[in-house]
């Protein structure tokens, strides 16, 4: 099934969901995956960035600086859709909430500061409610 591309539909249908747990971004200079469940990864020149659940990172001895909450937008957004990221990033930015985005095949996943999770959910719900 093809993903949605119409911005108004994407915004109205976002259905943000706050996933349980705390998540961290770690970097691995040797590019070896840790012995834990990796939520996401990206290979950079400096090493492999992995997103893992905080408790698993601590158990694996991985260092991190940023503790995030994970919000999934439950609309099936097409990878070629235009404007969705800009819309929610602008709304969150206006609220003073930083956001790190990972686009999966079906959904967008937002990682916001742990202390901003509920406020971010409110901002996203307001954005969806106000979509034309």
pLDDT at 14: 95
Average pLDDT of every residue of the chain: 93
pLDDT at 32: 76
pLDDT tens digits, 3-41: 889 889 999 999 999 999 999 999 998 877 778 899 999
Number of H helices, E strands in the chain: 4, 6
- What would you report as the CA-atom Rg of the chain, rounded to the nearest whole angstrom? 15
pLDDT at 21: 97
pTM of the predicted protein model: 0.93
pLDDT at 132 over 70: no
CB 19 within 8 A of CB 72: yes
Q: How far apart are CA 22 and CA 27, in angstroms?
A: 17
CB 47 within 8 A of CB 34: no
Return the structure tokens found at 88.
């929610």
Return the structure tokens found at 73.
């937008």
pLDDT at 114: 97
Return the structure tokens found at 89.
């990033």
pLDDT tens digits, 78-106: 999 999 999 999 999 999 999 999 999 99
User: Phi, psi (5° rounding) for residue 103?
Assistant: -95, 120
Q: Domains of the chain by range and CATH?
A: 7-129 (3.30.2130.10)
Q: How far apart are CA 128 and CA 28, in angstroms?
A: 37
């Amino acid at each position: 099934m093809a993903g949605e591309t119409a911005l108004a539909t994407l915004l109205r249908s976002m259905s943000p969901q706050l996933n349980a747990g705390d998540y961290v971004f770690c970097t691995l200079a040797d590019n070896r995956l840790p012995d834990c469940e990796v939520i996401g990864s990206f290979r950079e020149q400096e090493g492999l960035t992995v997103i893992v659940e905080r408790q698993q990172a601590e158990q694996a001895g991985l260092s991190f600086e940023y503790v995030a909450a994970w919000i999934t937008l439950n609309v099936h957004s097409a990878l070629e859709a235009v404007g969705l990221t800009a819309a929610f990033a602008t709304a969150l930015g206006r609220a003073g909430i930083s956001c790190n985005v990972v686009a999966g095949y079906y959904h967008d996943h937002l990682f916001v500061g742990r202390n901003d999770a509920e406020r971010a959910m409110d901002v996203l719900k307001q954005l969806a409610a106000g979509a034309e």
